[in-house]
């Protein structure tokens, strides 16, 4: 079996890359060990957020944000994406100053943010707690349903002609001549001159095969959801703070449930495939959420979940060509912030693979920054 490109890993990155490669006329085989979008892509918070990303990532986030608007036209469904705004709030003057500075700098990258004083915050979002003293609002932000998004993009890729294979576990990868030879459990060998690794928390194991190990750490997001309530909260809301335990965020979906996250990162393992929500984190998160919105005290949490997210020490993902192996490309390790940029990453990787260059700068994401780790 032969294709132009084999993609290993069917999360939002791999599914989007498959979709956009098909639009560029390339033949694609997408291999997913489980089901498309089942890991980090499916269990994250669902934030479609540019605000707060480090400035150099904004061009990629901007490109992706444009795709989010076009999802119905591109893949035939909206994945519950709503551009209902994104609000960051803070508890200290010092943090307010940082948000202010960020909003100034972000303007140069095409992101217009609006600083809100304590009074303005309370007038527009009366449900916020007294401790919130300032806010920064992005009207173009919003949220989508991560459980639906990657599977929907995967189905669209399949409709566009990609060979999307679920429950296809890669058991061997080697380069033979100009081709990569990928062995799939029970399916034999597949060949392609180009290979894209979008295997998330498992990406590091594959890059190591090509002499490019990376210091990938895995953690589990601590997600909870409330019972359904009347729909009142339009924007995604998050706390801006240097303290992890104060970092909580929430969004209400139109059917009424409020999805919450933050306070801590939980243990996760890409060996056992398990990720945990710590009971203490559920209680701690509740305490922090009550600070941001005291009304939380009147509702119940009905469910919690986690997943396996991968992080790099500099909080910057790996994206771009391999430094050792021609024809090999990477896009993994999105440090808990891959959902919003997912469609854009797929688009950029397709552009890179099809044309050899990208119109969006990605040099900062190169795997060679960890070259000193190579044996």
Other CB atoms within 10 A of residue 264 CB: 21
**Binding flags for another protein, 335-374, as an x/- string (CB under 8 A):** ----------------------------------------
Assess 129 for contact with another protein (CB under 8 A).
no
Residues in CB range of 62: below 8 A, 6 or more apart: 50, 109, 110, 111
Q: What whole-number distance in Å separates Cα of residue 366 and Cα of residue 101?
A: 28
Contact between 20 and another protein by CB under 8 A: the answer reads no
Binders of another protein in range 21-40 (CB under 8 A) = 35, 38
CA distances from 202 to 104, 158, 269 (A): 38, 23, 10
Residue 286 touches another protein, criterion: CB under 8 A: yes
Q: Give the whole-angstrom CA distance, residue 322 versus residue 365.
A: 11
Which residue in 127, 132, 133 sits closest to 294, CA to CA? 127
Closer to another protein by Cβ: residue 302 or 373: 302
**Least separation, in Å, of the C-beta of 162 and another protein?**
15
Read off the tokens for 109: 């990258």
| 303 near another protein (CB under 8 A) | yes
Q: In whole angstroms, how close is the CB of 324 to another protein at the nearest point?
A: 37
DSSP secondary structure, 159-205, as one string: HTT-EEESS--EEEEEEETTEEEEEETTTEEEEESEEEE--GGGHHH
Q: Does 151 bind another protein (CB under 8 A)?
A: yes
Residue closer to another protein by CB (options 247, 301) is: 301
Q: How would DSSP label each residue in 103-117?
A: HHHHHTTT---EEE-
- Asked if 245 interacts with another protein (CB under 8 A), we say no
Per CB under 8 A, does 255 bind another protein?
yes
The reply to whether 1 sits near another protein by the rule CB under 8 A is: no
The C-alpha angle with vertex 328 and arms to 17 and 70, in degrees rounded to 5, equals: 15
Pick from 114, 178, 189, 287: which binds another protein (CB under 8 A)? 287
Q: Which of 193, 211, 228, 366 binds another protein (CB under 8 A)?
A: 228
298 lies in the binding site for another protein (CB under 8 A): yes
Interacting residues toward another protein by CB under 8 A: 35, 38, 42, 147-148, 151, 155, 225-228, 255, 276-280, 282-284, 286-287, 289-290, 296-305
């Amino acid at each position: 079996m032969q294709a132009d490109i084999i993609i290993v890993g069917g999360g939002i990155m791999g599914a989007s890359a498959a979709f956009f490669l098909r639009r560029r006329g390339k033949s694609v085989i997408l291999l997913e060990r489980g089901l498309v979008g089942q890991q980090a892509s499916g269990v994250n918070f669902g934030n479609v957020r540019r605000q707060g990303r480090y400035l150099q990532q904004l061009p990629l986030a901007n490109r992706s944000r444009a795709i989010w608007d076009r999802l119905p036209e591109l893949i035939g469904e909206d994945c519950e994406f709503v551009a209902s705004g994104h609000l960051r709030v803070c508890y200290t003057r010092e943090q307010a100053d940082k948000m202010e500075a960020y909003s100034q700098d972000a303007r140069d990258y095409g992101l217009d943010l609006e600083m809100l004083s304590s009074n303005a915050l309370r007038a527009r979002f009366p449900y916020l707690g007294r401790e919130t003293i300032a806010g920064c609002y992005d009207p173009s932000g919003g949220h989508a349903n991560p459980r639906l998004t990657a599977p929907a993009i995967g189905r669209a890729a399949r409709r566009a002609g990609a060979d999307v294979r679920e429950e296809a576990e890669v058991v061997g990868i080697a380069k033979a001549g100009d081709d990569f030879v990928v062995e799939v459990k029970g399916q034999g060998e597949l060949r392609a001159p180009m290979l894209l690794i979008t295997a998330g928390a498992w990406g590091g194991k594959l890059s190591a095969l090509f002499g490019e190990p990376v210091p990938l750490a895995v953690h589990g997001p601590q997600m909870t959801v409330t019972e359904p309530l009347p729909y009142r909260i339009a924007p995604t809301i998050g706390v801006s703070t240097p303290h992890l335990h104060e970092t909580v965020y929430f969004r209400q979906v139109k059917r009424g449930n409020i999805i919450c996250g933050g306070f801590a990162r939980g243990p996760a393992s890409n060996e056992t495939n398990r990720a945990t929500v710590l009971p203490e984190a559920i209680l701690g998160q509740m305490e922090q959420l009550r600070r941001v919105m005291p009304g939380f005290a009147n509702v119940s949490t009905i469910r919690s979940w986690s997943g396996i997210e991968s992080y790099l020490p500099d909080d910057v993902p790996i994206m771009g060509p391999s430094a050792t192996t021609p024809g090999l490309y990477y896009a993994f390790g999105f440090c808990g912030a891959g959902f919003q940029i997912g469609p854009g990453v797929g688009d950029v990787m397709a552009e890179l693979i099809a044309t050899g260059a990208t119109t969006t700068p990605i040099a900062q994401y190169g795997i060679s920054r960890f070259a000193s780790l190579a044996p």
